[in-house]
Amino acid sequence: MDAEPGSSGEDDRASHQIGRLLSGLNEAQHQAVTSNAAPLCILAGAGTGKTRVLTRRIARRVLADEIDPRRVLAVTFTRKAASELKDRLRQLGLRDSVHAGTFHSIAYAQVRQRWNELGVRPPELLDRKVGFVAQLLRTTDKVLPLDVVNEIEWAKATRVPAERYAEVAGRAGRRPPLDAQELADVYRRYEEEKLARRLVDFDDLLRLAVRDLSSDKEFAAARRWYLRHLFVDEFQDVNPLQFSLLRAWLGASSDLCVVGDPNQAIYGWNGADAGYLEHFEQHFPGGHTVDLSENYRSTPQILATANATLAAAGIPRITLRANAPDGPVPTIRECSDDRDEAAAVARAVRDSHSPATPWSHQAVLVRTNAQIPLLEQALRTTGIPCRSRGSGAFLDAPEVKEALRLLKRSRANFDVALADLQTWADEAISAAPGEAAALVNPERAANVEELVRLAGEYRSLDPDAATSGFLAWLRSTMYRDSADSAGDAVDIATFHSAKGLEWSIVHIAGVEDGLVPIGHARTSAARLEERRLFYVALTRAQRQLSCSWSRRRTFGTRTTERAPSPYLESVREAIDLCRLGQTPADWHDHLLRQREQLGGSVKGRSPRGGPELTPAERKLLDALKRWRLTSARAAKVPAYVIFNDATLEAVVRSRPRNQTQLLELPGIGAVKAHRFGPELLRIVAEH
């Protein structure tokens, strides 16, 4: 213990305060707060009281004289989260004695202390990387510097040096905006130029902090004595560089407690590695894990859709159990096109508004920023105040800024300038991986296409359309007034930016294949992350949830036919069971039992991939899905228990003609081939 016990009166007061801290906790929360295990891992599902448990564990240990609050370090991923954690601790009686901050802010304080002790003039912090990297690119590189910066940040987060970038990026399935060798060269020159100018970036701070602790045993010992009780939030988001710093912070007398949710691991594309959380006891032998699965946020009906979504892929580490009372059954809406969908969402938002449900209790969630403007327009047209919580306002996106800059510089008439922009976006979408293009990132291309669509809308309003008029119209249309952004307004947010937030009513729009999951998620790991991202969106809803998709969507000047997201199958099956009054407590076990009855298994899903389906193949797949849905309803099981999407797609691509060929396909064993084979072969033959 770090402090001597006080008087009997102080002990009584402490015991009383501890009793108040433990009051109202469920069994698992109580165990997480009071456990003497070290290291300790708390797996906290969505809405299970993660922050409550973390702050009460710190406060209880302080009140019990187990730790000195001045020796506590709480690590978060945002300054906002660090501020909230300290506020909670103050409310529990701990003033400002606990140290809390992000990995980067704590590392910066550490290296500055080290420089000061050694009398070293600190290098300058490079906090504007985009302009710095832009100077390193060739004038012929048609690439956004931000995309290059993002790739360099991924490499540094995963501790990949420039000389190994091309090899490791290829193995990881990265799609760099430049040829991998070219990007490695830019990365190398970026590091050399920083060194020559005595500059460090934020990732360098973590690397330097690790280096100092590894090279100076006395400094490391003093640092580890000073802050020896470590608490890490959102541990599923830790990347290899951050994990190496955490290891360096830990000493023989340190103790560690981490909190996280592997089902909300959605930053793998950015270098995060949820394996540190999932395999905690391998990384920290002797560690102990406590699961929090009782959800206090959402109704059983909403949790049924979320649990089923993960269980369909056999990936839930935590199955949420509802503590809240029953609520409305979630809904799925099919719309004719994206404009019809936006209008339908606006009507649903308006109809859900009441004195008891202000606008700010509702949110519209989408997968990409490019979907936000159309929904924003629909809400405003209906008279609904709204604000965007996308990962950057639409007009502030770098590719949109670049497109507007090109528009301003163009000497062509408005229609020709727009056609040039459309060509810019089209070239990006058709570019091969690694091929230099204006917008290799498809989501960036989608933003430019949305800008083209807005320009077309302006063109229809003004026969004498000109660039200057369009820019003025765009600013008045897209920028929100201060009342909307600060007052009672509906939030429009991307799935990523919605993480950590919650609303009474959530409308999820654009739940289509190609958006959910996103079209460029080609690897098995990327598709699993997309499924978890959809799970995050579903679990933002407290009382009411609706999903919608459109049969046609316009990208710029092109309209494409759309199909519902494959994830909607599990949502629909959960809805069907909810209507029957059935909400399994453990969806994973539920599906295991059903698939065992049908000769299948939850595990072993074949990843979808390969070339796009032809129109004829898509038609066959639709027919197979209709048959599957009918068969599932007759058997009173979810559709994916009959066959998952990967198996049906394998049937479409191979077109089996007999039972022997059926048995060669993934997901079809002897029992299923006997039971469903004749119907499958009949449908294939008909097409």
Asked whether residue 613 falls in the same domain as residue 564, the answer is no
Contacts of 5 (CB under 8 A, 6+ apart): 11, 65
Asked whether residue 175 falls in the same domain as residue 311, the answer is no
Is residue 210 situated within a structural domain? yes
pLDDT of res. 357: 94
> Nearest 5 degrees, angle CA 658-CA 663-CA 665?
105
Asked whether residue 541 falls in the same domain as residue 617, the answer is no
Contacts of 283 (CB under 8 A, 6+ apart): 276
Q: Residue 465: pLDDT above 90?
A: no
Mean pLDDT of 116-123: 89
Lowest mean pLDDT among 36-50, 239-253, 334-348, 647-661: 647-661
Mean pLDDT of 239-267: 94
Q: 304 or 12, which is more confident?
A: 304
| Residue 257 neighbours by CB distance under 10 Å | 25
Asked whether residue 178 falls in the same domain as residue 217, the answer is no
pLDDT of res. 299: 95
Q: 442 or 35, which is more confident?
A: 35
pLDDT of res. 523: 82
H or E stretch at 72: strand 72-76
pLDDT of res. 140: 61
Asked whether residue 418 falls in the same domain as residue 514, the answer is yes
Residue positions counted in the chain: 687
Asked whether residue 249 falls in the same domain as residue 327, the answer is no
Lowest mean pLDDT among 59-63, 565-569, 638-642: 638-642
Q: Residue 609: pLDDT above 60?
A: no
Q: Residue 613: pLDDT above 80?
A: no
H or E stretch at 340: helix 338-352
Q: Residue 391: pLDDT above 60?
A: no
pLDDT of res. 12: 72
Mean pLDDT of 593-618: 55
Asked whether residue 511 falls in the same domain as residue 543, the answer is yes
Is residue 606 situated within a structural domain? yes
pLDDT of res. 487: 79
Q: Residue 216: pLDDT above 70?
A: yes
Asked whether residue 435 falls in the same domain as residue 516, the answer is yes
Is residue 333 situated within a structural domain? yes
pLDDT of res. 482: 35
pLDDT band at 301 (very low <50, low <70, confident <90, very high): very high
Query: What's the total number of domains in the chain?
Result: 4
Q: 134 or 659, which is more confident?
A: 134
Q: Residue 480: pLDDT above 50?
A: no
pLDDT of res. 403: 81
Q: Residue 602: pLDDT above 50?
A: no
pLDDT of res. 659: 82
**Which domain does 523 fall in, by range?**
300-568
CA distance linking residue 479 with residue 606, whole number of Å: 45
Mean pLDDT of 563-567: 90
pLDDT band at 77 (very low <50, low <70, confident <90, very high): confident
Lowest mean pLDDT among 130-144, 226-240, 322-336, 546-560: 130-144
Is residue 287 situated within a structural domain? yes
pLDDT of res. 95: 76
Is residue 40 situated within a structural domain? yes
Q: 639 or 198, which is more confident?
A: 198
pLDDT of res. 423: 75
Structure tokens at 240: 């290899």
Q: Which of 273, 292, 311 is the last residue of a domain?
A: 292
Is residue 304 situated within a structural domain? yes
Asked whether residue 188 falls in the same domain as residue 237, the answer is no
Q: Residue 603: pLDDT above 60?
A: no
What CATH number corresponds to the domain at position 606?
1.10.150.80
Is residue 618 situated within a structural domain? yes
pLDDT of res. 185: 95
Report percent pLDDT > 70 for the chain. 87
CA distance linking residue 113 with residue 132, whole number of Å: 27
Asked whether residue 416 falls in the same domain as residue 532, the answer is yes
Asked whether residue 486 falls in the same domain as residue 608, the answer is no
Q: Residue 68: pLDDT above 70?
A: yes
What CATH number corresponds to the domain at position 220?
3.40.50.300
Q: Residue 33: pLDDT above 80?
A: yes
pLDDT of res. 334: 93
CB 302 within 8 A of CB 539: yes
pLDDT band at 394 (very low <50, low <70, confident <90, very high): confident
Mean pLDDT of 406-433: 69
Indicate the residue type of 140: T
Across all residues in the chain, what is the average pLDDT? 85
Asked whether residue 171 falls in the same domain as residue 314, the answer is no
Q: Which of 137, 167, 197 is the last residue of a domain?
A: 197
Indicate the residue type of 105: S
CA distance linking residue 455 with residue 460, whole number of Å: 9
Q: Which of 548, 568, 588 is the last residue of a domain?
A: 568
DSSP result, 94-106:
--S-SEEEEHHHH
CA distance linking residue 615 with residue 267, whole number of Å: 34
Is residue 589 situated within a structural domain? no
